[in-house]
Structure 1
Amino acid sequence: MSFLGRKFDSRAWFVMTPNKAPRSSISTAAVLPLKSLKNSKQRLAPVLNPQQRAELTLAMLKDILHTLTLCRDIHKIFIVTNDPIVKRLVERIMGNNPQHQPIELLAEPRKLSAERVESGLINAITHAGKVLAKRNIQRMIFIPADVPLVRPEEIQKILNPVSDKTQAPNGVLNIVPASASGGSNCISCMPPDCMNFSFGEQSFTRHISIARHLNLSTITTHSAGLGLDVDTPEDLAQLAKRLFEQESDLAANPHSKSSNKAPNKVHSHTYQFLSSHSILNALPPANRAVESIRLRN
């Protein structure tokens, strides 16, 4: 399998790790929307070419999928995409790991308008919510495909408050605000089709307003791992800084509790991608941590 002339080994691309902790009785699905690889992360064009942007997207997706398999309350994972490469990769992942949470592909919906065919995050998540509700899945969590720092315990923290509909008969909405744009970097809700979503800049306040209009119980959760989504060269430099800091911490404390919570982000595909000398030289020098990676490589 190849993309822009380079082969991807899907057999080595992803290994699931089972989580044997007791699961919640609330049926829960994670939803990850993913654009076409050829059009992914275009705001990173000043520092990454199309091949590199596709590789970064796949590396981050792998890390997030691995994290989700470690979340005891995630029963199923849906990837909303029309990209044929991602589709083939997911099919092979499930063929190699049939005993773990199933990963299902949903076609990205396309909305016909008078001027053009529109597709995007709003349509993808709203459509997924309706599909999950029809399948009697009680709770949905939307995870962006560009937050590779997220940890299993952070996802669990977001799910926990969205668990008791008796206290909120009209539904529950828990939002993680984006650290920079005022957007919504993660949403957990019950039921999955409780509202029509409204992503984009300043979407956090819009979602709160819509939820209150619908008499939904609203919760705000802050998360370091979910707060940083990778859209710009500055975001990429910040991601490199934080991954390097994690590596330094683990190197200094190899037997610490955090080092046993797989996946160790310093061993992730995202870190391996960023450790490339040519990639790091293209990043804006956000701080000394990024410069240290450059010097070491």
Structure 2
Amino acid sequence: MQVVVPFSATDPKTRLADVLAPDERREFSLAMLEDVLSAIRATGQEPRVLTTSSIDIDAPQTVDSRPLTPAVNDVLAEGEPTEPTAIVMADLALATPEVLEQLFSTAGDVVLAPGRGGGTNALVSRHPDFRVDYHGTSYLDHCRIAGDVGASVVEVDSHRLATDVDESGDLAEVLMHSDGAACKWLRKAGFSLSVTEGRVEASREQRIEEKNR
């Protein structure tokens, strides 16, 4: 199985701009990528990073500056017909070897791990004609695309794979459910868990505005 991890190296995680400065967003994104790569390697697979520009990381990488959909579709098109291809997003900081092994070993032409908002956080394709479309509610689009090419679809229901870290509200999930590089980065940056009106949130000891003065 080839396992590919797409990574946006240019101005990543813009929806975290309310709590992280641009350089911090890049550092945090790389920490999450490190966690994902480590979890994949622990399953016995050797991941390859599909990055928009070259990055300093200990992993094979392919540079493709195009948007996510055409870049991933080229990976699928160029794969060996008899070799499954897994696409695992780089912001799944909660991913563990156990849930990734479940994804990789689940039988089906197309195996999908949907995100909480209807996206597709990870998938395995064993069908030569399956292609992706990551715009909008891509989970539904991928179910339709699979049906169009006659591919069976199986869903992997996992909180850890469903949780992609895009917004400030997601940081609490990392602090609660991970002890990897991303969690350590957040704690070093001054984030900790707090309870506000009955909700668990990630709060920062030093606000970004104060840090940049």
Q: Distance in 2 between matches of 1:70 and 1:280?
A: 28
Residue 51 of structure 1: aligned partner? 23
Residue 77 of structure 1: aligned partner? 47
Where does structure 1 lack aligned partners over 5 or more consecutive residues?
Answer: 1-27, 94-102, 111-118, 164-171, 244-264
1:236 paired with 2:171, answer: yes
Residue 209 of structure 2: aligned partner? none
Instruction: Give 1:158 shift.
Output: 1.2
- Contact 1:80 / 1:107 at 8 angstroms: preserved in 2? yes
Q: Distance in 2 between matches of 1:227 and 1:52?
A: 24
Q: Which has the higher contact order (CA 8 A, sep 6+)?
A: 2
Residue 30 of structure 1: aligned partner? 3
1:195 paired with 2:159, answer: no
Residue 125 of structure 1: aligned partner? 72
The structure-2 alpha-carbon separation of the partners of 1:158 and 1:51, relative to structure 1 and needing over 3 Å to count, comes to same
TM-score for the superposition, normalised by structure 1: 0.63
Residue 121 of structure 2: aligned partner? 185
SS of 2:103's partner is: helix
Residue 208 of structure 2: aligned partner? none
The structure-2 alpha-carbon separation of the partners of 1:173 and 1:46, relative to structure 1 and needing over 3 Å to count, comes to same
Whose strand fraction is larger, Structure 1's or Structure 2's?
Answer: 2
Q: How far does the alpha carbon of each residue in 1:152-208 deviate from its partner, in whole angstroms, 9 at most, with x for none? A: 111111122237xxxxxxxx00101111x11111111114x4322111321111111
Residue 86 of structure 2: aligned partner? 141
Residue 156 of structure 1: aligned partner? 101
Q: Distance in 2 between matches of 1:284 and 1:82?
A: 37
SS of 2:32's partner is: helix
Q: How far does the alpha carbon of each residue in 1:108-159 deviate from its partner, in whole angstroms, 9 at most, with x for none? A: 1x5xxxxxxxx222112111112323xx661111100000111111111112
TM-score for the superposition, normalised by structure 2: 0.85
- Contact 2:130 / 2:151 at 8 angstroms: preserved in 1? no
Greater gyration radius: 1
**Count of paired positions:** 204
SS of 1:106's partner is: strand
- Contact 1:40 / 1:53 at 8 angstroms: preserved in 2? yes
Q: Distance in 1 between matches of 2:172 and 2:98?
A: 25
SS of 2:8's partner is: coil
CA RMSD after TM alignment: 2.5
The structure-2 alpha-carbon separation of the partners of 1:31 and 1:218, relative to structure 1 and needing over 3 Å to count, comes to same
1:107 paired with 2:63, answer: yes
SS of 2:111's partner is: strand
The structure-2 alpha-carbon separation of the partners of 1:42 and 1:277, relative to structure 1 and needing over 3 Å to count, comes to closer
Instruction: Give 1:104 shift.
Output: 2.5
Mapping of residues 8-23 of structure 1, within 5 Å: none
* Identical aligned residues as a percent: 21
- Contact 1:162 / 1:189 at 8 angstroms: preserved in 2? no
Where does structure 2 lack aligned partners over 5 or more consecutive residues?
Answer: 206-213
Whose helix fraction is larger, Structure 1's or Structure 2's?
Answer: 1
- Contact 2:119 / 2:138 at 8 angstroms: preserved in 1? yes
